[in-house]
Amino acid sequence: MGLTNNDIFKKLRVAHKLRDTDIVEICGLVDFKVSKSELNAFFRNENHAKYVECGDQILRNFLNGLVIHLRGPMPKKGEKAPENDQRK
């Protein structure tokens, strides 16, 4: 069996060293509301009574927010993207 959305969410959380408050803020960047208690249910063991499967919508919104968090917001059409000298 492959990775579940919960597994992907857990791995991203660990890889980026994110806390619950960070994830709530990241989801807020795309106007998606999620509570700390909902997040805790996603990160529980599958055998736990309060475990909840992470749906595609939740993971998609988190990933979209993570892109904004890491790269910054997309420039509006017609505007030039700011140059980033750190990549040179």
- For 37-70, the pLDDT digits (tens) are 999 999 999 999 999 999 999 999 999 999 999 9
pLDDT at 84: 58
Residue 85 lies in a domain: no
Residue 88: pLDDT over 60: no
Residue 16 lies in a domain: yes
CA-based torsion, 18, 23, 25, 30: positive or negative? positive
Residue 77 lies in a domain: no
Neighbours of 24 (CB within 10 A): 18
- The DSSP letter of residue 85 is G
Residue 33 lies in a domain: yes
Residue 83 lies in a domain: no
- The proportion of the chain whose per-residue pLDDT surpasses 70, expressed as a percent, equals 90
- The pair of structure tokens assigned to 53 is 């499967």
Residue 82 lies in a domain: no
Number of structural domains (the chain) is 1
**What span, in angstroms and rounded, lies between the C-alpha atoms of 69 and 31?**
13
Residue 78 lies in a domain: no
Q: pLDDT: is 83 or 60 the higher one?
A: 60
Q: pLDDT: is 79 or 55 the higher one?
A: 55
Residue 35 lies in a domain: yes
Residue 86: pLDDT over 70: no
DSSP string, 15-63: HTT--HHHHHHHHHTTT----HHHHHHHTS-TTSTT--PPPHHHHHHHH
pLDDT at 52: 95
Q: Which residues span the domain enclosing 10? A: 5-71
pLDDT at 77: 80
Q: Is 69 helix (H, G, I), strand (E, B) or coil?
A: helix
